[in-house]
Amino acid sequence: MAVTHLSELLRRSAASFPNKGITFLQNGQTRYMSYSDLLSLAENNAATVRKLAGRGSPIFLIHFDNHWNNIVWFWSVVLGGYIPAMSTPLVSDLEQRSKHLQHLYNLLEDPIVLTSAHLQSDLAAVDSEIQLQVRAIEQFDNEVLEWQGTCSPTTESSDIAALMLTSGSTGHAKAVTLRHNQVKTALKGKSQYHETTPDDVFLSWIGMDHVANLTEIHLHAMLLGASQVQIPAGDVINDPLLFLKQCAEHRVAYTFAPNFFLATLLRTLQKSEKSLDMDLSPLRALISGGEANVVETCDDLSKMLMEYGAPRSLIRPGFGMTETCAGSIYGKDCPDYDISRGLEFASLGACVPGINVRVVEASGNVLNSGEVGYLEVSGPIVFTGYYNNPTATAESFPTKDWFRTGDLAFIDDAGQLTMTGRAKDTVNINGLKYPIQELETAIEEANIEGVTPSYTAIFPHRAKGSSTEAMVVVYLPDYKQDDVETRVKIARSVSQILLQICAVRPYEIIPLTVEHLPKSSLGKLSRAKLRRAFEEGKFKKIVDMNAGLIAEYQQNFYTAPRNKMEAKLLEVVRSSLDIAESIKIGIDTDFSDLGVTSVEILRLKSRIDVALQLSKSLPIGTLLVNRTIRQLARAIANLQDSPYEPMTILQPEGNKTPLWLVHPGVGEVLIFIQLARYMTDRPVYGLRARGLDGEKPFDNIPEAVQTYYDSIRRTQPKGPYAIAGYSYGSNLAFEVAKLIEADGDEVKFLGAFDQPPHLAARSQQFDWVSCVLFVSFFLGLITEEQAKYTLGDVLKTMSRDDALTHILNGAPADRIDELAITKKKLADWAGVAFQLKLIGRDYDPKGKVARLDCFYAAPLPEVASTMEEWDAIIAEWTPFVEGEVGYHRVDGGHYDMITTHVRSFQKKLKQILEERGV
């Protein structure tokens, strides 16, 4: 029987597969209904549907709280010849609920609502002149229903089969039209792409109001005559392992779970004290969507599920919308494909039969592979319009036949689709756009104690009079209301994370109740609705209470300045770090708790020099080591007598083996500040070059190596040791490791960040001009283009003094003021960098270390023209290592691998540190 109408799908399944059907888990009990039983029940109910149908709308709004009734009455309406519209869960806010119901009344043209008696009162609109026609199914047996209207049942394949409501995250819900022929084509495309068969078992715990169940699972299984299992979402959310247990018990082959649940499942498995007794070998496809899948989560979860027999490529990230009948583009080689490409979020793969995809500019011009633009789709499985909403339909099809999804994406050189975010889901801070999902993911991955996983959202807010947007963070607390210490720690942690990425602190960090954070069927929070509620003042009481509790807590731990120097330092710290007056800071407040950036440290150092009129400039190392106003005031008082000390504290907390980081060619360690903030489980120390604070620079590399070796031994007398260097510092770290191993101690981790073993030839390429340009670029005085291409030839015709003047005259005035850069300071810094290059010209690596890990990014053009050539150069480390050498490609390039790309870099670094046992 050819399927042209959904009713034929059920009839064929009942006739051809009498032993197949649906297993329901409900209230802890299992119920089974064959497709034949479903057909009989739906046919009986169809008579009731026809009698209920009035002269107005042919639409029945299906509103139940369990799979059984939703499925039975969906099919009852279909067999009756009318249009089922699947209702979404109602929000708890009565005002918003009333607006939603009034909107549905108008949009669906006074539909009849089918529901259960215990839900009937929820569907009464508040303060409204209109009332929906709500009918409780329990009343039907006691009523005599007569035919009341003349609505014509749907019969053509092009007729509307069902209406699915969007979440309404950007306003009122829209009703997506799913037509019979569209659904049929989509189901066949899914089955062909995933090679599903009648012998497979399907499972869903997503509500029937979402296509992730209706078309992805329920109708897909029915097309094949395959068995299916339907589980309540609440049961799975409360007990994530129930999902796996049910998959094993029913030998499920095909299922779905959104990204947030994969993360929840992974955490639950990791915490489980014993291995589960289950066989997941039949499970071939775990479709995932709703939001971008984090590759690290997919990798870790795949490894754990493989222990129970699941295949490596079990997780299949997909792109799909209600408008495309759920999944229509899927990746089938996750996570290996994504890992090989260094992706943070999983690729979405290729199209199923029935859909085409392209990426375009805003104007509609098609972009080349690798270029990010607007995602558009077309084909027979794409909807043709929103019900009763021609304006939204026209806006969604800027080009004939091509639906613009609202997503940003690119198609890679292998033809695989990768999403980069929603076009509107960004926050614009000082002209730079930050994808909100990446910011939320950074907070989620931090696993902050007291923050409920998957309940964190960020949205932009522009305060009155502000020149730019700011971030508002909301989260669901997992602590008692009176636990103010945890509340404060969370605010501090979230601030630090976002400061590292965006260089600004959030406008507000608000702990909300679960009632304020309703999720969609796929577990998504609506940022637009949260923003609207915030700007309408609905969170004001919570914001005020939160601020009051934090202020009281800070007051209890506040120590006021005791003298003029401490008072002046407090004033400078507050202004330099842009600390709001509402945040209480005293002389014992740790600067690192405020999330200080490298730029802010330079600004703070310069302003302290000016404010205190110091005769000797405050060394950055002194500022990094003395992290409170009390400590800093004491250090400044003794400043004239302080000797050079290479060690600086970048991150003091943690009980794992300390990580030592050796400076790059500019001699300074500020480049490591962002990276150190991620290393919360171990102390992180930096080693600064001599000469940055007016001392005599090193005369040769052995002198530098011995100095750093002595400093490490003073701070950490015994191993094991973990040491790494960035660029030039990699060679120094190698030499320090040799000295430690010669003493009979162990270096368990030695890292080289983007540097080959041979230093001399590269050092020969640098003269004083190259060094002053590099330092100026590092300080933000010139652009990368100026440093590399335009200024070099100009400066080489000048004296050093004139060259310094030329750079400072062309630098942004606000940057010079911010850092209080003078000609002498720039000259001193450039002098240290040049001296390091001079002593590097004589460096010839010798000897071996026990082990080494090399982390390398895209090559500098002047070093290697291709990645293959760079691979070979980096591999020159192998002869200098006795044992294992790890070569690890990382994101970005030489200058931004541990700044712009610090999030992905720190993940790889942590992974290798763990593998090396430190």
Q: Confidence class of residue 593 from pLDDT cuts 50, 70 and 90?
A: low
Of the two residues 10 and 429, the one the predictor is more confident about is 10
What is residue 608's predicted lDDT score, i.e. its pLDDT? 86
Q: Does residue 150 carry a pLDDT above 60? A: no
Q: What is the pLDDT of residues 642-682, one digit of tens each?
A: 678 899 988 888 889 999 999 999 899 988 988 988 887 89
Q: What is the pTM of this model?
A: 0.69
Mean pLDDT, all residues of the chain = 89
3-class DSSP state of 793: helix
Of the two residues 815 and 706, the one the predictor is more confident about is 706
Q: Does residue 145 carry a pLDDT above 50? A: no
**Distances, alpha carbon 470 to alpha carbons 278, 434, 737, in Å:** 48, 11, 45
Q: Confidence class of residue 154 from pLDDT cuts 50, 70 and 90?
A: low
- What single string gives the DSSP state of each residue in 148-193? ---PPPP-STTSEEEEEE---TTSS--EEEEEHHHHHHHHHHHHHH
Write the single-letter amino acid at 473.
V
Q: Confidence class of residue 147 from pLDDT cuts 50, 70 and 90?
A: very low
Q: Does residue 84 carry a pLDDT above 80? A: yes
Cβ 774 vs Cβ 664: under 8 Å: no
Fold of 426-556: GMP Synthetase; Chain A, domain 3 (3.30.300)
Give strand ranges (E) for 466-597: 470-475, 508-511
Q: Does residue 219 carry a pLDDT above 90? A: yes
Catalytic residue among 727, 770, 776, 904: 727
Compute the residue count for the chain: 918
- According to the CATH classification, is domain 1-231 in 3.40.630.30? no
Residue 340 annotated among the catalytic residues of the structure: no
Q: What is the pLDDT of residues 166-180, one digit of tens each?
A: 876 445 889 999 999
Chain CA centroid to CA 201, Å: 32
First to last CA, the chain: 64
Q: Does residue 1 carry a pLDDT above 80? A: no
Q: What is the pLDDT of residues 538-569, one digit of tens each?
A: 999 999 999 899 888 877 878 888 888 889 99
Q: What is the pLDDT of residues 50-82, one digit of tens each?
A: 988 865 679 999 999 999 999 999 999 999 999
Q: Do domains 1-231 and 426-556 have the same CATH topology?
A: no
Per-residue buried b or exposed e for 242-273, using 16+ beta carbons within 10 Å of the residue's own CB: bbbebbbebebbbbbbbbbbbbbbbbebeeee
Q: What is the pLDDT of residues 722-769, one digit of tens each?
A: 999 999 999 999 999 999 999 999 999 999 999 999 999 888 888 999
**Distances, alpha carbon 68 to alpha carbons 46, 218, 232, 805, in Å:** 16, 12, 10, 79
Q: Confidence class of residue 613 from pLDDT cuts 50, 70 and 90?
A: confident
What is residue 146's predicted lDDT score, i.e. its pLDDT? 47
Give strand ranges (E) for 787-903: 852-858, 885-893
Q: Confidence class of residue 130 from pLDDT cuts 50, 70 and 90?
A: confident
What is residue 292's predicted lDDT score, i.e. its pLDDT? 83
What is residue 135's predicted lDDT score, i.e. its pLDDT? 93
Q: Where are the domains of the chain?
A: 1-231, 426-556, 644-759+843-918, 763-840
What is residue 141's predicted lDDT score, i.e. its pLDDT? 65
In terms of Cβ atoms closer than 10 Å to its own Cβ (0-12, 13-18, 19+), residue 669 is buried
Cβ 849 vs Cβ 747: under 8 Å: yes
- According to the CATH classification, is domain 644-759+843-918 in 3.40.50.1820? yes
Q: What is the pLDDT of residues 258-293, one digit of tens each?
A: 988 998 899 899 888 778 899 999 999 999 987 888
Do you find a cis peptide bond into 720, omega within 30 degrees of 0?
Answer: yes
Cβ 825 vs Cβ 723: under 8 Å: no
Q: Does residue 148 carry a pLDDT above 50? A: no
- What single string gives the DSSP state of each residue in 625-684? H--SHHHHHHHHHTGGGPPP--EEEEE---SS--EEEE--TTS--GGGHHHHHH-TTS-E
Alpha-carbon torsion (674, 679, 680, 683), positive or negative: negative
Average pLDDT on 371-375 reads 92
The β-bridge partners of 648 are 686
What is residue 149's predicted lDDT score, i.e. its pLDDT? 43
Q: What is the pLDDT of residues 869-905, one digit of tens each?
A: 999 999 999 999 999 899 999 988 998 899 888 888 9
